[in-house]
Structure 1
Amino acid sequence: MSVISVVGKENLEAEVNSGVSIVDFYADWCGPCKMLTPVLEELATDLAGKAKVVKVNVDQNQELAAEFKIQGVPTIVIMKDGEVVERAVGFQPKAGLVDLVNKNL
């Protein structure tokens, strides 16, 4: 069972309103997004209790993607207590994502 939640407009806010969250804006057709999934699954396990990982499908949540000004996928948005604190576009190595999260813990 995956430790990553797939969320949409109706439940994103509840998922990211406290603590540090990694929000992956992705699309099913996106090659780099598919490459990022196992990295995020590892991170979700490694950071359990410190940060959570959620995914937002931009094709199914276009309004949410627009609200977050997503220009390309994958886009990783680091949120702390419901506020955007970091962004990274494109495939990110695990070490880079860990650094982004640790800066905001």
Structure 2
Amino acid sequence: MIVLVFFASRTCGHSRRMDSLVDHFMRAHRGELKLAKVDIDERGDLAARFGVEGAPALVLLSDMVEVARLEGRQTLPSIRAAMEPHFVTEELGMPELVLTGEPQLQAIG
């Protein structure tokens, strides 16, 4: 299981701005990973467990092992660049098949 943990604080402006970016990122990857939002003011124990000293921070876990981390204010492209290589699979590279006027399939590409 792949989980993106978003460590944020209600009192941090960067956290509030990144919240919508994280939501957008998750909508684009619906079904590929889970999201856990952690308020570090309420759950400082979790932040400490993951070594997070400030907000905002993103930690990507694969089978509960950290595979990527971003700290501080981020942009959507920086989130994608850091996180997607760890869970987005490449296309299989199989040729596309199309039906032609003949009674057989023809491979393109």
* TM-score between both structures, scaled by the size of structure 2: 0.74
Correspondence for 2:30 among 43, 48, 52:
48
Partner residue of 1:35 out of 17, 26, 36? 17
Q: How does 1:1-105 map to 2 (within 5 A)?
A: 18=1, 20-105=2-87
Whether contact under 8 Å (1:78, 1:100) holds in the other structure is: no
Please, what is the CA RMSD of the aligned residues? 1.1
> What is the distance in 2 between the residues matched to 1:43 and 1:75?
15
Deviation >3 Å, runs of 4+ = none
Aligned AA (2:26): A
Q: How many residues align?
A: 87
Q: Rg: which structure is higher?
A: 2
More helix by share: 1
Q: Say which structure, 1 or 2, has more relative contact order (CA 8 Å, 6+ apart).
A: 1
Compute the displacement of 1:53 (Å).
2.0
In the alignment, residue 36 of structure 1 is paired with which amino acid?
M
- Give 5+ residue unaligned stretches, structure 1: 1-17
Question: Would you say the 8 A contact 2:70–2:82 is kept in 1?
Answer: no
Structure 2 gaps, min length 5: 88-109
Taking every aligned residue pair, what percent have the same amino acid on both sides?
A: 24
